[in-house]
Chains A and B, each alone.
Chain A
Amino acid sequence: AQTVTQSQPEMSVQEAETVTLSCTYDTSENNYYLFWYKQPPSRQMILVIRQEAYKQQNATENRFSVNFQKAAKSFSLKISDSQLGDTAMYFCAFMKPRGTYKYIFGTGTRLKVLA
């Protein structure tokens, strides 16, 4: 069965600095999708970025980028120029392929951006 592991329960970063959140996953599949979702205190789940496993190029979305290492089954999120509004829980998610469209989430990393 597929699993997603986020080994950092909590992190903090100074405003304007860069922080990297880690995520590893386990699967025997060759083709799949990976996602990072953000959950601010409002509890709304917001998509941050997604990566297609068959693409070697790392996805980038403004200040957010990923380091996708397929062989190592690693999918870390880098936040550059951290802002106070980035304070949130961040969830890594894996999409189970082959028709079920089932998403598997990690346990989350709580990120606090310090002024």
Chain B
Amino acid sequence: DAGVIQSPRHEVTEMGQEVTLRCKPISGHNSLFWYRQTMMRGLELLIYFNNNVPIDDSGMPEDRFSAKMPNASFSTLKIQPSEPRDSAVYFCASSPGRYGNTIYFGEGSWLTVV
């Protein structure tokens, strides 16, 4: 089975531009997570969906960040406008959603905002 698929793998963009990161979770998983990883703050949970519904978005840093999950097989994380401090690795992860089940990570999207 294919794992969690993220795109793009790498993105370099200029400050002020819109960035859209995409994620396809593992088929059959009904929980989806977006994490951000930086040297300073480690792994931070940005938002968590269950059955396509956002359950906890308390980690979304500010209004410039938005996430959607229009169906069970696709999610986006959008940053508009982007800033240099948004540079990080963004991970999407999915889980079957039952208590205790492991989450499976994608390979990450490396974002650099210059």
A residues neighboring B (CB under 8 Å): 33, 35, 37, 42-47, 50, 52, 91, 95, 97, 99-108
Is A95 touching B100 in the complex (CB atoms < 8 A)?
yes
**Residues of chain A with a CB closer than 8 A to B93's CB:** 45
Nearest chain B CB to A99's CB is how many angstroms away? 8
Q: A35-B102, A45-B108 are in contact. List 8 more A-B contacts (CB 8 A).
A: A33-B99, A43-B107, A47-B104, A97-B99, A101-B48, A103-B45, A103-B103, A105-B43
Contact A43 B89 (CB under 8 A): yes
Q: Which of B33, B93, B97, B100 has the most CB of A within 10 A?
A: B100
Check: B82 CB closer than 8 A to any chain A CB: no
CB pair B48–A108 under 8 Å, yes or no, is no
With a cutoff of 8 Å between Cβ atoms, the chain B residues found around residue A97 in the complex are 99
Query: In the assembly, what is the distance between CA of A12 and CA of B50, in Å?
Result: 39
Contact A100 B56 (CB under 8 A): yes
Q: Are A101 and B97 also in contact (CB < 8 A) when A47-B102, A91-B43, A108-B42 are?
A: yes
Q: How far is the CB of A12 from chain B (nearest CB, A)?
A: 20
Classify chain B: how many residues form its interface, as a range.
20 to 34
Query: Which of B48, B100, B107, B108 meets A33, CB within 8 Å?
Result: B100
| Interface 0/1 of B22-50, CB less than 8 Å to A | 00000000010100000000110100101
Chain A's nearest CB lies how many Å from the CB of B38? 11
A102 adjacent to B45 (CB under 8 Å): yes
Residues of A within 8 A of B75 (CB): none
What is the bound-complex CA distance between A98 and B50, given in angstroms? 14
Complex alpha-carbon distance, A33 and B98, angstroms: 12
Judging by beta carbons under 8 Å apart, are B48 and A44 in contact?
no
Distance in angstroms between the alpha carbons of A33 and B101 in the assembled complex: 9
B4 to chain A, nearest CB (A): 10
* Residues in B whose Cβ lies below 8 Å from that of A105: 42-43
Task: State whether A103 and B33 are in contact (beta carbons under 8 Å apart), knowing that A42-B107, A45-B105, A91-B43 are contacts in the complex.
Answer: yes
